[in-house]
Amino acid sequence: METQKKPRVVRKNESITKTFLEACIHEAAENGRQGSSLRPQSWEKVIKTLKETHNFVVDQRQAKNRYDYTRYKYQAWCRLKNKTGNLYDASTNTFNLSEEEWKQEIQANPKAHPLKTSPLLFSDLCIQLYDGVTATDINSWGPTTKKKRNDHCQESEAYLFRSFS
């Protein structure tokens, strides 16, 4: 019996990526979160939105995996964007690092590897979706902290990569 390979979630299609992020933002706002993820009933709605909008069929596990992958990529993007030395080029949405600098960054944080070859898509949506979700200690920034919105990446930078070591 041959098993059919499931499609990769939102890998190359920017339109699907945008719909996915927007649906996740909507569900997080409407129904809250379960830990750092969405609630099971919210995943059902996100999956339904992808099917109705793009005829793109995925299961909850695939959607959650993509959510987590994008969150890790966003965290790596924040860390790199906040480093000194004008590494971030906003016009291309990429980072200006030498091969040696990329090697050091990826060694320190393997989750940064995808940023070497592909930019974080829809960073504004990622900020809305993930900002404050990963803060877990008493000194970290969180959703109830009263900070200006443009301070997003800097406030939780200390936490971002402790879990990746």
The predicted-structure confidence for 38-65, as pLDDT tens digits, reads as follows 999 999 999 999 999 999 999 999 999 9
pLDDT at position 53: 96
pLDDT at position 8: 57
Calculate ∠ Cα 19-43-79, nearest 5°: 65
Retrieve residue 75's tokens: 């965290």
pLDDT at position 126: 96
pLDDT at position 7: 57
- Find, among 159, 161, 125, 129, the residue nearest to 141 by Cα: 159
First to last CA, the chain: 41
pLDDT at position 1: 55
pLDDT at position 135: 44
Cα 63 from Cα 65, distance rounded (Å): 5
Q: Which helix (H) or strand (E) holds 89?
A: strand 88-89
The whole model's pTM is what? 0.75
Residues of the chain with pLDDT under 50: 10, 134-151, 154-165
Phi, psi of 89 (to 5 degrees): -110, 100
